[in-house]
C-alpha cells in the first residue's frame, strides 16, 4: 500500500513536471515569469518543496525526507552560487544528514510518529556537530577557537551521546 502511494506520488510529479515544461515552452508570458523566479539554484529548492506537497497530497508523508534533502542541497547551491564560495563544499556536505533529519522530523510529525521525530532530531544534532567540526578544521568557521574548539566540541558531543544512551536504556 505504501509503495503504491510512493509510486503514485512519483507519477504525479513526473506528469506535473512534463506539463510545466510544455506550458513554459508554449506560453511566452509564462516563460518570462518562470525565468524571474525559477533561476538556478532556487529551482532545486522549489522542486524539493513540490516533492513535499505532492507527498502530503497523496498521503505519503515519507516523501518529506527526500524533499528536505533536495531543498537543503538547493539551499547549499544557492549560498555557493550567491557568494562564489565553492570551496565551502568541503564542509557543507556535512549538513546533508541534517536535511535528512529535518525530513524525518517532518515525517514523524505528519504521521504522528514520535519515534521518527526523535530519530530525525538525532540526525540533526549529529549533522550540526559534524558541520562545526569540519567547518572549523577546514577554515570555514573561526568561532570555535581552532583545534581547542574542535576538542571541546568532540567532548560535548561524546557526553551527549553517552547521556542519550543512558537515558534510552533506562526508558526501555
Domain boundaries, the chain: 2-171
Handedness of CA 49, 55, 61, 63 (dihedral sign): negative
More confidently predicted of 55 and 9: 55
Percent of residues, the chain, with pLDDT higher than 70: 81
Burial label for 90, CB within 10 Å (0-12, 13-18, 19+), is middle
pLDDT in tens, 124-163: 888 988 888 788 777 766 655 555 666 677 777 777 777 7
Q: List the one residue out of 78, 142, 75 whose CA is nearest residue 102.
A: 75
Can you tell me the distance from the alpha carbon of 20 to that of 65, in angstroms, rounded to the nearest whole number?
A: 24
Q: Is it the case that residue 52 has pLDDT exceeding 80? A: yes
Can you tell me the distance from the alpha carbon of 152 to that of 148, in angstroms, rounded to the nearest whole number?
A: 6
Q: Calculate mean pLDDT across residues 83-91.
A: 87
Which runs of consecutive H residues, i.e. helices, occur in the chain?
2-26, 28-37, 42-57, 64-83, 89-92, 96-110, 114-137, 147-171
More confidently predicted of 103 and 134: 103
pTM: 0.70
pLDDT in tens, 62-84: 889 999 999 999 999 999 988 88
Can you tell me the distance from the alpha carbon of 8 to that of 10, in angstroms, rounded to the nearest whole number?
A: 5
Plot region of 60 (φ>0 → left; ψ -120 to 50 → alpha; else → beta): beta
Range ranked top by mean pLDDT from 17-26, 28-37, 77-86, 154-163: 77-86
Q: Which residues contact 76 (CB under 8 A, 6 or more apart)?
A: 89, 92, 95
pLDDT band at 99 (very low <50, low <70, confident <90, very high): very high
Percent of residues, the chain, with pLDDT higher than 90: 15
pLDDT at 143: 58
Amino acid at each position: 500500500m505504501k509503495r503504491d502511494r510512493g509510486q503514485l506520488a512519483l507519477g504525479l510529479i513526473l506528469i506535473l513536471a512534463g506539463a510545466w515544461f510544455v506550458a513554459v515552452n508554449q506560453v511566452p508570458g509564462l516563460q518570462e515569469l518562470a525565468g524571474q523566479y525559477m533561476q538556478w539554484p532556487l529551482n532545486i529548492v522549489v522542486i524539493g518543496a513540490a516533492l513535499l506537497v505532492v507527498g502530503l497530497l497523496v498521503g505519503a508523508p515519507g516523501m518529506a525526507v527526500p524533499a528536505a534533502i533536495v531543498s537543503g542541497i538547493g539551499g547549499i547551491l544557492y549560498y555557493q552560487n550567491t557568494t562564489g564560495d565553492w570551496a565551502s563544499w568541503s564542509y557543507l556536505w556535512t549538513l546533508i544528514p541534517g536535511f535528512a533529519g529535518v525530513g524525518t522530523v517532518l515525517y514523524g510529525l505528519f504521521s504522528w510518529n514520535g519515534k521518527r521525530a526523535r530519530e530525525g532530531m538525532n540526525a540533526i544534532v549529529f549533522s550540526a556537530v559534524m558541520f562545526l567540526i569540519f567547518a572549523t578544521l577546514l577554515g570555514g568557521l573561526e568561532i570555535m577557537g581552532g583545534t581547542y574548539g574542535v576538542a571541546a566540541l568532540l567532548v560535548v558531543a561524546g557526553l551527549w551521546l553517552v547521556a542519550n544512551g543512558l537515558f534510552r536504556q533506562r526508558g526501555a
